[in-house]
Chain A
Amino acid sequence: MSATTNSSSGRGGVGISATAPPPRRVTTTIRSSNRIFDGVSWVVLVVAAIAWLLPSLWALKTSFTSNGTSAVGAQAILNDWALTFDSYLTLIKGGDLWNWYLASAVTGVLTVVISMFVCSLAAFALSRMNFRGKKWAMGAILVGIMIPSQVLIVPLFAELNQMGMLGTYWAVILPQVPQVIAVFVFKRFFDGLPRDYEEAALIDGASWWRIYTSVIVPMARPVIAAMSIVTFVWVWNNLLLPLFVLSNPKLMTIPVGLATVQGSFGQRVSDIQASSILGALPLVVLFLIFQRQVIEGVAGSGIKG
């Protein structure tokens, strides 16, 4: 009943207070209760954020403490604030880490480049062209989304074994090229793009390939960027596939390398935590630079390891 009078309160409360004082009092109590609610929200969020940051900060602090202190225990680490870079220097000089970075970078970049090209080209055909078997192709894409690829590790291994690709980067790269989700996301995006340009271009005698390269891809740059980054993160973090198909320590990716750290470093707790930090660092940097693309890409595609 007070809705109509109050609806203008957003712009100017003065006029209302003169004409109808009682509703105003109701609004203020709600406002103050909302202020309490917002205050409580803030406290809950801040406490949760601290709880969520704590483990990473703890690893960070340990990595800057000497191995001698960290082996004693948590209390000793809290008491010792003589920070040192020793663990990082050991790792940087150690050599293995660089091989892992190289392996992750090579497999990550190559997979993303091949995958994004192949997936966007397929999505382009599905979005823009009419052809026989299109329904089949769309159905196959939808089925593909439901296949949990991790469950296929054993048949995949057997297949890569027969192809003679085990122990090479290709065994990590090629199986991760068909990102069905990416085709789906690209197609959805292409469907929303205006068709005027390409109709004009087709009449001008341009080929479909030209339309893909010079009309669609430039317009789809943001979505391609977002999917590329998300796919890169996903490939970089994949443990299961490289764990079993790359046995050569020189070719190990970051996750596989990190999985061996605990066994080889034993009691050198600070070195272990420093490896964890260094292994995570490239992705932290990537995330800080491309925060928006990462979040949009993840939210838009629903990729979950």
Chain B
Amino acid sequence: MSAAPAAPAPAAAIDPSTKTTPARGARRMTRTAWGFLGPFAVFYVLFLIWPVIYMFISSLFNTTLVHRGLGSFAGLANYREMLGKNEFWVSMWNTIYFTLLTVPPLVFIAFVLAVLANRVQRGQWFFRLAFFLPFILPSAAIALIWNYIFTPATGLWPTIQGWFGDTNPQSVLGTPDLAMVGIALTTVWWTIGFNFVLFLAGLQEIPREIYEAAAVDGASAWQQIKSITVPLLGPTTGLVVLLQIIASLKIFDQVYLMTGGGPGISTEVVLQLVTNTAFTDYRVGAASAASVLLFIVILLVTLVREIIERASAKSKREN
């Protein structure tokens, strides 16, 4: 509307040079566009791309924090060292074990809670608050609370165990077999809100009419969940599982804050091995090799999901 009266006037006002040569106008637009992209591109290259490249390069050198520069060329020695080291495999297994312990409950419980919360109309804000709030709190605050709860003898956890008759319970974080379970429990409590919110967003996109039609056809609540909610929430569930696996593989905070990797190295995870190697032993090259290996594991997860997605999309098209 406002464009109509304005149209004839600027034809004269526009700089004649841009009018006559469209190529020059396009070139100017390219320059402006890169001007807009420039600031982001600088940060992106400096703090995301270059660290990736530097990680790969330094993993092939005896780089240290003690001397400047890359140090002497090491070939694949850093990788050989890591892959031949018991501590690396222990920390890799601990990372995967933590992922196995956290992903199923974090996806399943979040799904159930979201489906139930979506059905109740009254008080939904309260449940959102209760389940989501821990997620936005700092890991350090969470760790202080749960370390305290798990404190042997005086903490809330052993006290509750005492009420149920277990008067001399094992220390959760002090027992090698239990420590990771304690960390996983803390993590489930801390981060469930994220998956809960993703599921809730997915649920709200399912049109009410489908449920209404099903209800009219006599489908019970359970049948509706089984044959409407679960299948229609499939894509959301796929996304939640992927994000959860990746987040779990990057575990660092909770272990660092709650057990420091102990007892012994029974809860040490890869990112901790990386930081210990770099900041305690000053060996950037070896730490980079371990980082690359974790990086590859995480990328593999993304890749596998991509392949599954393509395959299922293809089979859907063929059917």
Q: A: which residues have CB within 8 A of B?
A: 2-3, 6-7, 9-10, 26-27, 30, 33-34, 37-38, 41-42, 44-45, 48-49, 52-53, 55-56, 58-59, 62, 71-75, 117-119, 121-122, 124-126, 129-134, 137, 140, 144, 146-159, 161-162, 174-175, 177-178, 180, 183, 196, 199-200, 203-205, 208, 212, 233, 236-237, 239-240, 243-244, 254-259, 261-262, 269, 272-273, 275-277, 279-280, 283-284, 286-287, 291, 294-295, 298-300, 302, 304-305
User: Contacting A295 at CB < 8 Å: which of B33, B132, B243?
Assistant: B132
Instruction: Select one of A45, A130, A158 contacting B65, CB under 8 A.
Output: A158
Tell whether, in the assembled complex, residue B144 and residue A276 are in contact, meaning their CB atoms are under 8 Å apart: yes
Shortest CB-to-CB span from A7 to chain B, Å, is 6
CA gap between A48 and B127 in the complex, in Å: 9
Contact-residue bracket for chain B = 35 or more
Residues of A within 8 A of B253 (CB): 239-240, 305
A160 — nearest CB in chain B belongs to which residue? Answer: B47
| Option from B128, B136, B153 in Cβ contact (under 8 Å) with A73 | B153
Residues of A within 8 A of B311 (CB): none
Give complex CA distance A139, B210 in Å. 38
- Given known contacts A45-B120, A125-B37, A175-B47, A158 and B52 CB-to-CB distance under 8 angstroms: no
**Residues in A whose Cβ lies below 8 Å from that of B149:** 55, 58
- Does A154 lie within 8 Å of B55, measured CB to CB? yes
On B, residues with C-beta under 8 Å from A are 2-3, 6-7, 10, 13-14, 26, 29-30, 32-34, 36-37, 39-41, 43-44, 46-52, 54-55, 58, 63, 65, 68, 109, 112-113, 116-117, 119-120, 125-141, 143-149, 153-156, 158-160, 189, 191-192, 194, 197-198, 200-201, 212, 215-222, 239, 243-244, 246-247, 250, 252-253, 256-257, 271, 274-275, 278-279, 284, 287-288, 291, 294-295, 298-299, 302
The residues of B that contact A298 with a CB separation of less than 8 Å are 135, 194, 197
Kindly list chain A residues whose C-beta atoms are within 8 Å of the C-beta of B51: 152, 155-156, 159
Residue of B nearest to A156 (CB): B51
A255 touches B136 (CB 8 A): no
A-B pairs, top 10 by smallest CB distance, nearest first, are: A73-B154, A258-B140, A122-B40, A131-B33, A74-B159, A125-B36, A131-B30, A49-B130, A37-B221, A276-B144
- The contact of A279 among B49, B120, B132, B140, by CB within 8 Å, is B140
What is the distance, in angstroms, from B197's C-beta to the closest C-beta of chain A? 5
Which among A26, A243, A259, A299 is the interface contact of B218 at CB below 8 angstroms? A26
Minimum CB–CB distance from B283 to chain A (whole Å) comes to: 10
Q: Are A276 and B145 in contact (CB under 8 A)?
A: yes
Cβ–Cβ contact A276 & B141, under 8 A: yes
Contact A55 B39 (CB under 8 A): no
- CB-CB under 8 A from B131, the residues of chain A are 48-49, 52
Q: Is the CB of A150 within 8 A of B271?
A: yes
Contacts of B63 in A (CB 8 A): 158
